[in-house]
A = this chain, B = another copy of it.
Amino acid sequence: MDSIFDAVNFRIKMGGADVAIAIAQDHATGEVLMVAFMNKEAFEKTVESGTMHYYSTSRRKIWHKGEESGHVQKVKEIRIDCDGDAILFKVEQNSAACHEGYYSCFFRKLDKGEWKFVGDRVFKPEDVY
């Protein structure tokens, strides 16, 4: 099992840690939900528990997604890219991925030189946090 971690290149130095890029994608629809970072420990916890754990580069600690909100991400598939510095997780998202209440964090789309809000709002942040 140890060898799977050797393939990951935690080459990005941020928030006091060596991290790789972690992308969460809806396993059923292919919608990209969010992008964050993982250090080795966060990746290990994710593989072991089957739910997404990230490394917060601002709070400088491991963060179990959904711990506070209940909006956990259950891992269905894990892929790694050619140079090993990005990991793609196909997940089953409970409720919504974004802390602003949208299903995906990518709820703004460029349209004629402006960012337009196009995402589906699933919950009101004030009801959850």
> What is the interface of chain A, defined by CB distance below 8 A to chain B?
1, 3-4, 7, 12, 14, 21, 23, 25, 29-32, 34-35, 47, 77-83, 86, 88, 98-100, 102, 105-110, 113-115, 118
Contacts and interface: CB of A to CB of B under 8 A. Distances in A.
Contacts of A82: 98-100, 102, 105, 107
Nearest to A30: B30
A115 B7 contact: yes
A29 B3 CA distance: 31
Contacts of A7: 108, 115
A29 B30 contact: yes
Contact of A108 (B80, B100, B106): B80
